Amino acid sequence: MIDFEEALKKFRRGKFVLIYDFEEREGETDFAIPAIHVTPKEVAKMRIDGGGLICVAIHPKAANKLGLPFMHDILRVASEKMPEIKKIAKADDIKYDSRSSFSLWVNHRRTFTGITDNDRAMTIKRIGEAVDAVMLGKNFDFGSEFRSPGHVAILRAADNLIYERVGQTELSIALAEMAGIAPAVAICEMLDAESGKALSKQDAVRYAEENDIPFIDGKTIVQNYREFREVNVKIFS
C-alpha cells in the first residue's frame, strides 16, 4: 500500500486517491481528486467505478467569500415563508452525524443539461478555480458563472475541519491543505451493486491496489493533519 507522503504527492499532481472515513461513521470509501484537475474522463470514472453522488467539497473560508451557506440554513429561512417545508427541513435524525454538509447544487452557465460528463467536468473545474481565486484574495462573482439548482452538489466543510467534524468533506479538504493546493475536492462514494450497500473496505482496498490508486483511511488523515497544523502554528507564531 502506498504511504501517506506518496499519496499526498499523487493528489497534489491531480491524481485520484481513495479516502475511507471510519467504521463507526459512514464506513464508506470515496474517490477524491482536486477539482481543478477534473476532466470528463475523471467524472466518468467516478460515475462508473464509484456510482455514488459526485460532489465538490470546499473550504469554509471559500464558502464564506463565495456566499455559499449550508442548505439547512437556507431551508430554515425559507420555512419561515413556507411552513409546509418545516418538517422536511428538520434533519436531526441523521444516524452517523449531527448535520449535513450540503450547500447549493449548481451548474455552470455554459453547460447544457448539466448532467453529462462534459457538463459536470466544466462545473466542477470552474468551482475549483473559483475557490482558488478567492483563497488567494481575488474577487469572484459566483452568480455570474453558476446557476442553481443544478447537477453538482457543493459541500461546505466545517469551520474547524477535522477538529469539528470528520466527514469525507473535512477529510478531503484537510488533504488539500496538506498538499498545498486549492481546497476544492471532487468526491464520490464507492457503492456495491451486488449488496446494494457501500463498497466494503476490503473491496475498496483491492480496487485501489489493482488500479494503482492510493488508499487512505480517515485516522491517517486526522493524525497527519494535526501534526501539519502544529508545525504551521509553530512556524507562524
Cell triple for 119: 457538463
151 is an active site residue: yes
Among 21, 26, 28, 30, which one carries the catalytic annotation? 30
20 burial type by CB count under 10 A (0-12 exposed, 13-18 middle, 19+ buried) = buried
Alpha carbons 85 and 70: distance in angstroms, whole number: 16
Residues shown for the chain: 237
Report helix, strand or coil for 186: strand
Among 96, 97, 209, 227, which one carries the catalytic annotation? 96
132 is an active site residue: no
Name, in order, each residue with C-beta under 8 angstroms of 59's C-beta and a sequence gap of 6 or more: 131, 135, 157, 173, 176, 177, 183, 184
96 is an active site residue: yes
Among 37, 107, 119, 132, which one carries the catalytic annotation? 107
64 is an active site residue: no
107 is an active site residue: yes
**Taken in order 38, 62, 150, 90, is the CA torsion positive or negative?**
positive
Among 20, 55, 117, 132, which one carries the catalytic annotation? 55
Among 151, 163, 203, 207, which one carries the catalytic annotation? 151
Among 119, 132, 189, 217, which one carries the catalytic annotation? 189
DSSP-derived letter for residue 84 is G
Return the active site residues: 30, 55, 96, 107, 151, 189
